[in-house]
Structure 1
Amino acid sequence: MPTRILPAVGDVDAVRSITTLLSQLPDAEPVAPVVDSTQLIDTLARLAAESVDELPEVVVVHERIGPVPALELIREVALRFPAVGVILVTSDASPGLFQAAMDYGARGLVALPLSYEELASRVQAVAQWSVGVRRHLGSGGDVFTGVGGTVVTVCGAKGGVGATLTSIQLALAAQASGRSAALVDMDLQAGDVASYLDVQFRRSVVDLAAITDISPRVLADAVFRHDTGLALLLAPGEGERGEEVTDRAARQIVSALRSRYEVVVIDCGAQLSGAGAAAVEMADQALLITTPDVVAVRGAKRMVRMWDRLQIRKAEETTVVVNRHTRGTEIQPPLIQRITGTAVAGTVIPANFKELQGAVDAGRIHELDSKGAVKQALWGLAGELGLVKVAEGAQKGGRLRGGDRGSVSFRRRKE
């Protein structure tokens, strides 16, 4: 299928140079260039009104486009037409401008004077990204549009026990198994999902807070599509804005996500907000992450009792997951079950920070070694919770590992 490329270039000589190179690219289908920002937005709006499929996969914006400056124009295209990938052509290829272009929503940058190899490489990468976005968010037949998506909330008994790591890996496991999955950072004042995945974003969960009717298009505009295919709805960059997400707004957001994705994982952090409480109450499964130490287990007990007093969730409807487990610790899962009065997941997450440190520091937690004990346990937990697609007969043969896609029966641990 040809890649449709729309040049947005105001300079006559630049138009000739860019269109000549674009016409030489393999499988490229350059369309008539637009000469200013107004014409670009009008053209895209007209095509989008017919169908998302009518939009070009790639828009090439020259730095001297006007009257709207190039970066501002890129921002508007990214916000209004999220399935279109934008490449900025500029004489300034400095790291500062590159970062600014990414922040404004560009998917690539090509330096002047133009190089065929560089232009071809960026166009191909951006076109593939655009096709992927349309498959997941646009008109593709594989987009989940039911009403029965599974919602899982992940809360920490206290800060630093691993709730965010667990949330990310559960969502990744579901996505990798072939299910459409969304990860929501509902830790509104201190969310770290973006840092763990090293993503720059403009939209957040706050952008949906004041919307009473969250349509699929509105939801798609707020979601960040990660390279793994995972849909991210991130916490606001300004923590004080988290107060804008009320419990009512959270219910609407969770309902919209449930109808759009097969699996929705929500990281609620360790501090209970109204929005987080609403999410926990609505969840099909509520996980509470603890480490096997006195302070964390006391925090878990305190959280469970508070949920019960506020009628958010009963203890027997909550599942505790033990992170950083070692056989030598005095506090073992059966004791945690007895103290909290909850179910305890059969899968425990081993203590091995050395395995995690490099990926955490690099913001590449999605690239954990599949042979590592931590990832294997977390993906095994996803199987235990039923978040992954199960191939016929895959449930036979023992304990799940990180590469497995099976499901294990979930049961209350007995002493």
Structure 2
Amino acid sequence: MVTRILPAVADADAARSLTALLSQLPDSEPAPPAGDSTTLLNTLAALAAESVGDLPEVVLVHERVGPLPALELIREVALRFPAVGVVLVTTDTTPGLYSAAMDAGARGVVGLPLSYDELVTRVGAAAQWAAGVRRHLATGPDTPGGPGGTVVAVTGAKGGVGTTVLAVQLALAARASGRTTALADLDLQAGDVASYLDVQFRRSVADLAGIRDLSPRVLQDAVFTHSTGLSLLLAPAEGERAEEVDDRAARQITNVLRARHEVVVVDCGTHLTGANAAAIELADIALLVTTPDVVAVRAAKRMIRLWDRLQIRKAEETRTVVNRHSRGAEIQPQLIERIVRTPVARGVVPANFKELQAAVDSGRMQDLDSRGAVRQAMWGLAGELGLVKGAEAGTGGRGRGAGQHADRGSVGLRRRRGGVGKRL
């Protein structure tokens, strides 16, 4: 059997040395190295989208891969792609590092400088383990294979732009179309998902923070099953407990939710923390919500620049959603796209708080009028993002229609936007 090997190494010299040695291994097929952790995860996700069988049997993670630390990257690969054997390549071969690598999910450790015999042994053992897992997955239909469901991170450019309302409605749209859906509130100090869905539940995401090996059963104890069928993982009622949820916990929680649901919507709030930064980085779809006013658009621009500086998310990998849009506003989606420098969703959400007020005040966002323009636009956006299936996807046309109106309504923008453009 040919063993497919995907190395992940940032240093060019180390990559050449590793590739040269891998090419000498018997019955092996090394792939071009992934230069960073993001490239590695994206490559594996693309392969797994076809089938588990398209994944490489072995992934070699060099200790200097970056920007994600090597052990965190190993944990990420092991959680998202359980049919891949991961081997750490490192100069530190002490028992402590070996133990930490095994805890993270590695199937072996290879010391630097590289030894042909050791590499053959470790790669062979990891490949055999991967083959055994794949045989098990082939006979166990309930065991999740590949990357699991779609994770959508919803972040607000600033407070009050409608982040949580959009996150809730996207999750409701996905669930109504028949997809198993989880809604996680990672706005850890001020999360309002529970209030919008009239939920009182003592367990929260903070109760999972200290658990190193999070099993689906443990997760289920902290998840509230809503009457709509949504699986809710709520923010802690005590804001000070936000500090308990770090990026490691957020990664683990997001990946376990992903493994059990077809769609996972994460409300990341408006303040960047280690936890929601991890969710934004992991997400298949990252949405940045803004309103068409100078202050919010400036905030959106700052947020995108911050994500780029911290290597959390690139602008082109983020989609801006315009909420409370009106055709007569000076700031139209085309201008926002030029200022923020991200793609803007075709479906915009119209300004109509009267339509929302009763559902917000009663804490029953699931009762939002299906004939209303706001819900139609938000559910249409869910269709645009591919979160719904079957007949429900038809509402996507209405959302796109709103976007088309925005295009026509902005004809006068070129004549009027001079002053606003300068302020932005």
Letter in 1 for 2:225: R
Letter in 2 for 1:370: S
TM-score with structure 1 setting the length? 0.61
Q: Is the CA contact (8 Å cut-off) linking 1:208 and 1:222 kept in structure 2?
A: yes
Letter in 2 for 1:217: R
Task: Output the CA distance in 1 between the equivalents of 2:185 and 2:244.
Answer: 14
Q: Is the CA contact (8 Å cut-off) linking 2:383 and 2:395 kept in structure 1?
A: no
How far residue 225 of structure 1 moved from its aligned partner, in angstroms, is 0.5
Task: Output the CA distance in 2 between the equivalents of 1:373 and 1:398.
Answer: 12
Residue 169 (structure 1) aligns with: 169
Residue 215 (structure 2) aligns with: 215
Residue 320 (structure 1) aligns with: 320
Q: How many residues are treated as equivalent by the alignment?
A: 264
How far residue 390 of structure 1 moved from its aligned partner, in angstroms, is 3.3
1:358 corresponds to 2:358: yes
Residue 331 (structure 2) aligns with: 331
Letter in 1 for 2:310: L
Task: Output the CA distance in 1 between the equivalents of 2:228 and 2:268.
Answer: 22
Task: Output the CA distance in 2 between the equivalents of 1:396 and 1:376.
Answer: 11
1:387 corresponds to 2:403: no
Residue 269 (structure 2) aligns with: 269
Letter in 1 for 2:230: L
Change (3 A) 1:341 1:383: same
Deviations 1:169-190 (A, max 9, x none): 0000000000000000000000
Task: Output the CA distance in 2 between the equivalents of 1:277 and 1:215.
Answer: 23
How far residue 400 of structure 1 moved from its aligned partner, in angstroms, is 3.5
Deviations 1:49-88 (A, max 9, x none): xxxxxxxxxxxxxxxxxxxxxxxxxxxxxxxxxxxxxxxx
DSSP 3-state at the match of 1:212: coil
Give me the identity figure in percent. Answer: 71
How far residue 205 of structure 1 moved from its aligned partner, in angstroms, is 0.4
Deviations 1:358-403 (A, max 9, x none): 1100101111000000000000000000001135xx878982369x
Letter in 1 for 2:398: L
Change (3 A) 1:143 1:357: farther
Letter in 2 for 1:323: N
Task: Output the CA distance in 2 between the equivalents of 1:144 and 1:328.
Answer: 52
Gaps of 5+ in 1: 1-140, 403-414
Q: Is the CA contact (8 Å cut-off) linking 1:289 and 1:322 kept in structure 2?
A: yes
Letter in 1 for 2:346: G
DSSP 3-state at the match of 2:349: coil
DSSP 3-state at the match of 2:397: coil
DSSP 3-state at the match of 1:399: helix
Deviations 1:306-351 (A, max 9, x none): 0000000001111000000000000000000000110100000000
1:286 corresponds to 2:275: no
Letter in 2 for 1:192: D
Task: Output the CA distance in 2 between the equivalents of 1:308 and 1:261.
Answer: 29
Residue 398 (structure 2) aligns with: 400
Gaps of 5+ in 2: 1-139, 401-413, 415-424
Change (3 A) 1:143 1:300: farther
Change (3 A) 1:142 1:262: farther
1:156 corresponds to 2:162: no
Residue 238 (structure 2) aligns with: 238
